[in-house]
Amino acid sequence: MKVQNETMSLKEIIKIPDPVLRTKCDPVETITPELKKLMDDMLETMYDAPGIGLAAPQINIPIRLIVMDAANKEEEQEPDPIIMINPVILKSSDEVSTYEEGCLSIPEFFAEVERPANVLVSYRDKDGNPQEKNCEGLLGTVVQHEIDHLNGVLFIDYLSKLRRDRVIKKFAKAKKAVSI
Ligand code: NI
């Protein structure tokens, strides 16, 4: 079936404390036209936000699919969209790097997180072909942050309990305020 003039659409990004963000996501079994459309929608949603990474659970779909564009941060750079299906970290460097991280599901909160500086990731690409990519620099951090999302892990989990609880409480309060 061929769909003409198919337009991409923006998805709603869910925020903490939505329980879907704490779900261990299911692997993708088959790559369907609907899934390819979802990948395009995720990229469009990420660029629109704007963000440099988005995981499927953040749009309320708990499957192992992430999109990223670490080049998007530098405006002069050409876009470099990366789609990873069922990503797995094969190797992590002993060397670490620290970036100030944020998350589209935890708006307006940023904190420094230390992670391995380089990771080797295996995944399936948009067409289902097996790939391996060495991710370093900003992309190294982004890919680890996004893979964490597939396991229900958020970057605030790396902070002290005191700081994490403060953020969670703030968002729980905000949710209550709009739901009355
Ligand atoms: Ni995030």
CA distances in angstroms from 154 to 46, 83, 122, 157, 162, listed in the order given: 17, 20, 21, 6, 15
Residue 13 in any domain: the answer is no
Total residue count of the chain as it appears in this document: 180
* pLDDT per position as a tens digit, 76-98: 678 899 999 999 999 999 999 99
Q: For residue 8, is pLDDT > 80?
A: no
Residue 147 CA to ligand 1 centre (angstroms): 9
**pLDDT class for 5, splitting at 50, 70, 90?**
very low
* pLDDT per position as a tens digit, 132-145: 999 999 999 999 99
Residue 141 CA to ligand 1 centre (angstroms): 11
Tokens 């905000």, residue located: 174
Residue 6 in any domain: the answer is no
Which is the catalytic residue, given 101, 108, 112, 146? 146
Residue 139 in any domain: the answer is yes
Q: What is the largest CA-CA distance in the chain?
A: 53
Q: Residues with Cβ within 5 Å of ion ligand 1?
A: 103
Tokens 């699919």, residue located: 65
Range of the domain at 171: 19-179
* pLDDT per position as a tens digit, 21-35: 999 999 999 999 999
Sign of CA dihedral 40, 42, 44, 46: negative
The answer to whether 146 is a known catalytic residue is yes
Tally of domains within the chain: 1
Alpha-carbon span 152 to 170, nearest angstrom: 20
CATH number of the domain where residue 106 is located: 3.90.45.10
